[in-house]
Structure 1
Amino acid sequence: MRTRRLLHLDLVRSEKAGVHLTTFVVSAVSTILVTRAYLALTGYPQIGGDSGLHIAHVLPGGLLMAAGLVIGFAYIGRGPRPVAALLGGVGFGLFIDEVGKFVTADNDYFFEPAAAIMYIIFVCLVVGANVWRRRRPLTDEEKVANAAHVLVDGLAGRLPANRRREVLRTLESLGDARGARQLHDLLTTLEPRTSPLPQRLELLWHRIAEAFTRLAASRFAAAVVGALLVLQAVGAVLVVVVLWRANGSSAPVMAGTATGTVISLALAAMAWWRWRIGDRRGAVEWLQRSALASLLITQVFQFAASQFAAVVGLFVDLLLLGVVGGGLRAHDTGRASGDQVRSP
Structure 2
Amino acid sequence: MFKNLFLRNIRAADYLELFLVSAISSLLLVRFFLAITGYPQVGGDELHIAHMLWGGFLMLIAMILMMAFLGSRIQRVAAIIGGIGFGVFIDEIGKFITHDNNYFYQPAIALIYAIFIVLFLIFRYLSRKIELKSKEYVLNALVQLEDAVLDDMDTSEKKRVLALLRQADETTPLTQDLLALLPNVRSYPTKETQYLLSFRTWIDKTYSRLLHMRYANRTVKLFFILEASLFLAGVSLLIINTLVDLILGYKGLDNPQLPIIIGEVISVGIAAVFVFLGVLRFPQSRLSAYQYFQQATIVQIFLTEFFVFYREQFGALPFFLFNLFVFIALRTIIRAEERLRQKSS
TM (norm. structure 2) is 0.67
Counterpart among 105, 108, 125 of residue 114 in structure 1 = 108
> What code does the residue aligned with 2:143 have?
H
Q: Residue 194 of structure 1 aligns to a residue in which SS? A: helix
Distance 1:95 1:120 in 2: 15
Counterpart among 32, 43, 47 of residue 42 in structure 2 = 47
Q: How far 1:152 sits from its partner (Å)?
A: 3.9
Q: Residue 218 of structure 2 aligns to a residue in which SS? A: coil
Can you list the C-alpha shifts for 1:68-111, whole angstroms capped at 9, x where unaligned? Answer: 11121112233422332232122212211211112222111122
Aligned to 1:26: 21
Aligned to 2:10: 15
Q: How far 1:321 sits from its partner (Å)?
A: 11
Q: How far 1:331 sits from its partner (Å)?
A: 9.8
Distance 1:87 1:165 in 2: 30
Check conservation: 2:305, 2:319, Cα contact below 8 A: yes
Is 1:98 the counterpart of 2:92 in the alignment? yes
Check conservation: 1:28, 1:90, Cα contact below 8 A: yes
Q: Residue 195 of structure 1 aligns to a residue in which SS? A: helix
Q: Residue 134 of structure 1 aligns to a residue in which SS? A: coil
Q: How far 1:261 sits from its partner (Å)?
A: 5.4
Check conservation: 1:147, 1:167, Cα contact below 8 A: no
Q: How many residues align?
A: 318
Distance 2:216 2:335 in 1: 10
Aligned to 1:35: 30
Equivalent pairs: percent with the same residue?
28
Gaps of 5+ in 1: 1-5, 339-344
Q: Residue 228 of structure 1 aligns to a residue in which SS? A: helix
Is 1:166 the counterpart of 2:166 in the alignment? no
Q: How far 1:234 sits from its partner (Å)?
A: 1.0
Is 1:224 the counterpart of 2:214 in the alignment? no
Q: Compared with structure 1, are the counterparts of its residues 56 and 252 closer, same or farther at alpha carbon in structure 2 (3 Å cutoff)?
A: closer
Check conservation: 2:10, 2:127, Cα contact below 8 A: no
TM (norm. structure 1) is 0.67
Distance 1:190 1:148 in 2: 18
Distance 1:72 1:143 in 2: 22
Check conservation: 2:94, 2:104, Cα contact below 8 A: yes
Q: Residue 19 of structure 1 aligns to a residue in which SS? A: helix
Q: Residue 8 of structure 2 aligns to a residue in which SS? A: coil
Distance 1:261 1:30 in 2: 19
Q: How far 1:59 sits from its partner (Å)?
A: 1.5
The 5 A counterparts of 1:174-253 are: 174=164, 176=166, 177=170, 178=175, 179-185=177-183, 187-188=185-186, 192-195=190-193, 218-242=217-241, 248=251, 250-253=257-260
Check conservation: 2:55, 2:86, Cα contact below 8 A: yes
Distance 1:227 1:314 in 2: 17
Q: Compared with structure 1, are the counterparts of its residues 125 and 168 closer, same or farther at alpha carbon in structure 2 (3 Å cutoff)?
A: same
Q: How far 1:299 sits from its partner (Å)?
A: 5.8
Gaps of 5+ in 2: none
Aligned-residue CA RMSD in angstroms? 4.8
> What code does the residue aligned with 2:71 have?
G
Distance 2:81 2:330 in 1: 28
Can you list the C-alpha shifts for 1:280-331, whole angstroms capped at 9, x where unaligned? Answer: 79x9588788778777876665555445566666667774898699689969
Q: How far 1:180 sits from its partner (Å)?
A: 3.9
Which region of structure 1 is more displaced relative to structure 2, 312-321 or 29-38?
312-321
Distance 1:189 1:251 in 2: 58
Which region of structure 1 is more displaced relative to structure 2, 323-332 or 56-65?
323-332
Q: How far 1:230 sits from its partner (Å)?
A: 0.9
Counterpart among 62, 76, 80 of residue 74 in structure 2 = 80
Q: Compared with structure 1, are the counterparts of its residues 150 and 122 closer, same or farther at alpha carbon in structure 2 (3 Å cutoff)?
A: same
Q: Compared with structure 1, are the counterparts of its residues 195 and 102 closer, same or farther at alpha carbon in structure 2 (3 Å cutoff)?
A: farther
Q: How far 1:240 sits from its partner (Å)?
A: 4.7
Q: How far 1:148 sits from its partner (Å)?
A: 1.8
Distance 1:236 1:193 in 2: 51
Distance 2:15 2:277 in 1: 33
> What code does the residue aligned with 1:237 have?
S
Q: How far 1:49 sits from its partner (Å)?
A: 0.1
Q: Residue 218 of structure 1 aligns to a residue in which SS? A: helix
